[in-house]
Amino acid sequence: MCLSIPARVDEIEGNSAICTVGNSSYKASLELLTPDEVQVGDYVLIHTGFAIQKLDEVDAMETLKTFNDFKTLNEQMDQEEKDNNTHLI
């Protein structure tokens, strides 16, 4: 029950939103967010039928950017593994 899922807001009707997660669609209440906080196209985190937070695209990108730096490293490791025919992990 504690799982929460990121969902894309497709439609807003008053205090609720129709959201998509993967191929399914959910109705979520917007009552726990401040009015006008969410627009169509935003992603929200849904928990037991309530949107409890809007996902922050900028922060998500920031984190992934750090991850991308790692990615270069990842490729180096793959190469190393191939060259030496070993498993580093």
Partner 1 sequence: MKYIDEYRDKGLVRLFAEEIKKISTKHVKLMEVCGGHTMSIQKFGIPDLLPSTVELISGPGCPVCVTSRGYIDQAIAYCRLADVIIATYGDLIRVPGSTSSLEKERALGADIRIVYSVLDALIIARENRSKKVVFLGIGFETTAPGSAAAIIKASMAGLRNFYVYSAHKVMPPAMEALIDEGVQINGYLGPGHVSTITGEKIYYDIPKKYGLGVVISGFEPVDVMQSILMLVQQIESNQPKVEIQYTRVVKPEGNIKAQQMLEEVFEPRDDWWRGLGVLKDSGLKIRENYQTHDAEKMIEVVVEETIEPKGCICGPILKGIKKPKDCKLFGTVCTPSDPVGSCMVSNEGSCAAFYMYNR
Size, binding site for partner 1 by CB under 8 A: 37
- Residue 25 as a binder of partner 1 (CB under 8 A): the answer is no
Residue among 10, 11, 32, 40 that touches partner 1 (CB under 8 A): 32
Burial bucket for residue 50 (CB in 10 Å: 0-12, 13-18, 19+):
middle
Tell me the closest approach of the beta carbon of residue 60 to partner 1, in angstroms: 4
What is the C-alpha to C-alpha distance for residues 76 and 80, in angstroms, rounded to an integer? 6
- Residue 80 as a binder of partner 1 (CB under 8 A): the answer is no
- Residue 36 as a binder of partner 1 (CB under 8 A): the answer is no
Please state, as a whole number, how many other Cβ atoms lie within 10 Å of the Cβ of residue 43.
Answer: 20
- Residue 2 as a binder of partner 1 (CB under 8 A): the answer is yes
* 45 in Cβ contact with 63 (< 8 Å): no
Q: Return the structure tokens found at 36.
A: 């006008």
Residue among 40, 56, 79, 80 that touches partner 1 (CB under 8 A): 56
